[in-house]
Structure 1
Amino acid sequence: MEETTLKIKQKYSRNYVAGYPLLMEETIANPEVLTTEGEPLEIVMEDGTFIGKGYYGAQNKGLGWILTHKKTDQINGQLFEKKLTVALGRRSFLFEDESTTAFRIVNGEGDGLGGLIIDYYDGYYLLQWYSAGIYTFKDIIVSWIMQNTDAKGIYEKKRFSSEGHYVADEDFVTGERAEFPLLVKENDVIFATYLNDGAMTGVFLDQREVRKTLRDKYAEGKTVLNTFSYTGAFSIFAALGGAASTTSIDVANRSREKTEEQFKLNDIDPDKNKIIVDDVFSYYKRAAKLGESYDIVILDPPSFARTKKRIFRAAKDYSALLKETIPITNKGGTIIASTNHAGLSQKKFRTFIEQAFEETGDKYKIQESFSLPKDFRTHPSFPDGDYLKVYFIQKLT
């Protein structure tokens, strides 16, 4: 397909010449040329300066991605195959690690393939498409995986539509179908995953190093509260690390069944661990009245959450949530404060922590911090891609 010339407004030249990969609507001088999702683009400044080549793919982040800064490259199968080969090679150390069988293969723009994420689940590949534009390259990518890896099968999740929401349709692509739950390992802990059941699989792979640290360094003998617990992954690691008790709380009804499933897979009696279906904020109020407190509180809320009584937005409400967490954390205890909100900067997140402790009058110490693991490769000119921010905070008073 012939390349369309897309012009970037001159005032944005510094960012794009420095390597910024996302084609933002407000930066484009001639948006009327974008007519067909997936069309290859040659991107230049208004003065004709060459920037790179990419494709048109409308998504909530922008209108497409720059995939290469080489003028001789073409947006075709050869380019995709080269990038996939490099991405796979970067994860060779994980393929060699028998204790972990679920990890990321392609992390969008971090691997030069903005709009596409590929995860590996013990022989099965899960492709996540973020625009109709990148989806036009599906056949090239699926064919390469089946021909160049030992993939048993491929599943997909289309995370695009006219409303920008997940498209729920058939998830299986090719190869042999997996038997669900598909059991995977993370640092020798077993997880039940489902590649065919909605937008999420049952475990968030980006928290791998945080969970290991909780198990290996913090959990022994401690009482642990896991809020916004989803399927209880942090609780499993805490229990295996010798926690005195774990309490998992999530507002979703299915969280109880899913968490029990994970406990049983790891030979842990779920009846000896509390699993509560409730709004975290309501639970906090009851805990405060009853004088309950914990040695470790895991605080990993979604960027946006709505319950009958409250709306939570990480970008503005995280400090208030942390302020409610501090009183139910024992002196000397640890709050694992985490956010995956790309719009909440590292600096702002630290400000939220400072603000919360200042308002409660307590003192604290940062014990350690985490960002994305190595397989979640990021782009140096795209800070939004480095979204995960985690702090282990010790309450001193």
Structure 2
Amino acid sequence: MKQNIKLKVKSSFAKNMKAGYPLITEDAIMNMKDVKEEGAIIELFDDQQRFLGKGYYGKQNKGRGWILSRNQNETFDVSFFEQKLKTAIEHRTSLFQDERTTAFRLFNGEGDGIGGFTIDYYDGYYVISWYSEGVYQFKNEVIQALSNLVDVKGLYEKKRFASQGTYMEDEDFISGEKAPEPLLVKENDINFAVYLNDGAMVGIFLDQRDVRKTIRNKYSKGKNVLNTFSYTGAFSVAAALGGAVKTTSVDLANRSKSKTIEQFSVNGIDFEAQDIIVEDVFHYFKYAVRKELKFDLVILDPPSFARSKKHTFSAGKDYTDLLMQAIAITEKNGIIVASTNCSTFGMTKFKGFIEKAFKQTGGKYKIREEFSLPKDFKTIEEFKEGDYLKVVFIEKQA
């Protein structure tokens, strides 16, 4: 039985924690040096010795752990995790029953009551992503709780924290039967090829489900579409299925081409009728301007931070410039889908980037639609950083 370590919370942070803020940061604690071990159980008290919460210690980005309970007598055993997972599964009942969608998020960390790990569902297979060594100490309890509640065909894990040793083949696979490679899953009747044992990313970002559906159903028919930072081409596939005349997918990663070809192929789309380009997106923008190329629909979904030989991109600093380059190659009355998963700013600031980009290019625009995370990516009001996705459909007006 682990000993509980008592931590003193600085008065300037206590009010937030009392109100439900779940993340424990180093600057919030007076005696953080008392904690020596990842996974240690910690109890938090204010300067008046009033109990604020109980959780665990685990280094995750700027965080140093998560509050999991407001009950001082809580035990973080299998039944604790089982109750949280049971509630999460009930929240996704409609997705489990939807035959058109067989991949979604089952458990979304602090949004479902336990910060530090997520669980994704892929047609009977489950993938747990661990974000700190601290939460990884509860691996057995989490797996047992999951197995008590659902029929797990096969189980995989992703260690999203720095661990000792080299990455071994098959390290992601835990138990059950191995998924076929690729495993074909569905999302709103679109097929996607995923690889559950292929490093941190499996081939599709599940948080863009609603956006892909909207692109397919409302914005693609008869359009010439540019998909930048295209990864495996999921947006391009949605656009092609929505009746796009042509899609152009641009990504710097060499493997993006074969992956995008595969995604087109599993949907019965002739990939040779599409353009799939391995190139720095910023180089491509210059090429498009030089060749006077214009697109009806331009999709911008860059990583929060990226570095190539000639460019460093930071969403917080450089998104306005990225938008300005996109505006230059968008047809009048065309649509720009501006997306970011950067958690350091909210939708208001993001809209400020859009306003600034159009002001500097002398153009007018209209916001047609906005999206944040889909319902399976559950968030809580007390932790706004958890609601990281911001997507805006912008019409470039004549």
TM range (shorter): over 0.9
Number of the residue aligned with 1:185: 186
Percent of aligned pairs sharing the same letter = 56
Deviation at 1:14, TM superposition (A): 1.6
Range with greater deviation from structure 2 (136-145 or 229-238): 136-145
Number of the residue aligned with 1:73: 74
Number of the residue aligned with 2:208: 207
Structural mapping, 1:301-380, within 5 Å: 301-380=302-381
Deviation at 1:135, TM superposition (A): 0.3
Number of the residue aligned with 2:174: 173
Structural mapping, 1:256-295, within 5 Å: 256-295=257-296
Q: Give distance in 2, aligned partners of 1:15 and 1:148.
A: 34
Number of the residue aligned with 2:96: 95
Q: Is the 8 A contact 2:373 2:387 kept in 1?
A: yes
Is 1:133 the counterpart of 2:95? The answer is: no
TM-score normalized with structure 2 length = 0.97
Question: Structure 1 residue runs of 4+, over 4 Å off?
Answer: 165-169
Describe the SS at the equivalent of 2:23.
coil
In structure 2, what residue type is equivalent to 1:312? F
CA-based RMSD of the aligned residues comes to 1.4
Q: Is the 8 A contact 2:79 2:145 kept in 1?
A: no
Q: Give distance in 2, aligned partners of 1:347 and 1:12.
A: 25
In structure 2, what residue type is equivalent to 1:93? S
Number of the residue aligned with 1:106: 107
Range with greater deviation from structure 2 (43-52 or 372-381): 43-52
Number of the residue aligned with 2:150: 149
Number of the residue aligned with 2:396: 395
Q: Give distance in 2, aligned partners of 1:178 and 1:105.
A: 18
Number of the residue aligned with 2:28: 27
Deviation at 1:268, TM superposition (A): 0.2
Q: Using a 3 Å threshold, how does the CA distance of structure 1 residues 166 and 339 change in structure 2: closer, same or farther?
A: farther
Describe the SS at the equivalent of 1:23.
strand
Number of the residue aligned with 2:198: 197
Q: Is the 8 A contact 2:9 2:45 kept in 1?
A: yes
Q: Using a 3 Å threshold, how does the CA distance of structure 1 residues 168 and 90 change in structure 2: closer, same or farther?
A: farther
Number of the residue aligned with 1:6: 7
Residues 73-102 of structure 1 show CA distances to partners (whole Å, capped at 9, x for unaligned) of: 222222111111111111111000000000
Deviation at 1:203, TM superposition (A): 0.2
Q: Give distance in 1, aligned partners of 2:318 and 2:147.
A: 45
Deviation at 1:5, TM superposition (A): 1.1
In structure 1, what residue type is equivalent to 2:120? D
Q: Give distance in 2, aligned partners of 1:166 and 1:97.
A: 39
Describe the SS at the equivalent of 2:24.
coil
Number of the residue aligned with 1:40: 41
Residues 360-379 of structure 1 show CA distances to partners (whole Å, capped at 9, x for unaligned) of: 00000000000000000012
Describe the SS at the equivalent of 1:381.
coil
Deviation at 1:142, TM superposition (A): 1.1
Q: Give distance in 2, aligned partners of 1:325 and 1:268.
A: 26
Aligned residues: 396
Q: Give distance in 1, aligned partners of 2:89 and 2:62.
A: 25
Q: Give distance in 2, aligned partners of 1:385 and 1:168.
A: 31
Deviation at 1:162, TM superposition (A): 6.3
Residues 298-329 of structure 1 show CA distances to partners (whole Å, capped at 9, x for unaligned) of: 00000111111111111100000000100100
Q: Give distance in 2, aligned partners of 1:147 and 1:166.
A: 32
Q: Give distance in 2, aligned partners of 1:88 and 1:168.
A: 31
In structure 1, what residue type is equivalent to 2:343? A
Residues 169-219 of structure 1 show CA distances to partners (whole Å, capped at 9, x for unaligned) of: 610011111111011000000000011111101000000000000000111
Q: Give distance in 1, aligned partners of 2:51 and 2:168.
A: 39
Number of the residue aligned with 1:244: 245
Q: Give distance in 2, aligned partners of 1:240 and 1:9.
A: 54
Q: Give distance in 2, aligned partners of 1:289 and 1:223.
A: 18
Q: Using a 3 Å threshold, how does the CA distance of structure 1 residues 35 and 61 change in structure 2: closer, same or farther?
A: same
Structure 1, gaps ≥5 residues long: none
Q: Give distance in 1, aligned partners of 2:382 and 2:145.
A: 28
In structure 2, what residue type is equivalent to 1:304? F
Describe the SS at the equivalent of 1:200.
coil
Q: Give distance in 2, aligned partners of 1:194 and 1:168.
A: 16
In structure 1, what residue type is equivalent to 2:305? F
Is 1:121 the counterpart of 2:129? The answer is: no
Q: Is the 8 A contact 2:78 2:145 kept in 1?
A: no
Q: Give distance in 2, aligned partners of 1:130 and 1:331.
A: 44
Deviation at 1:114, TM superposition (A): 0.2
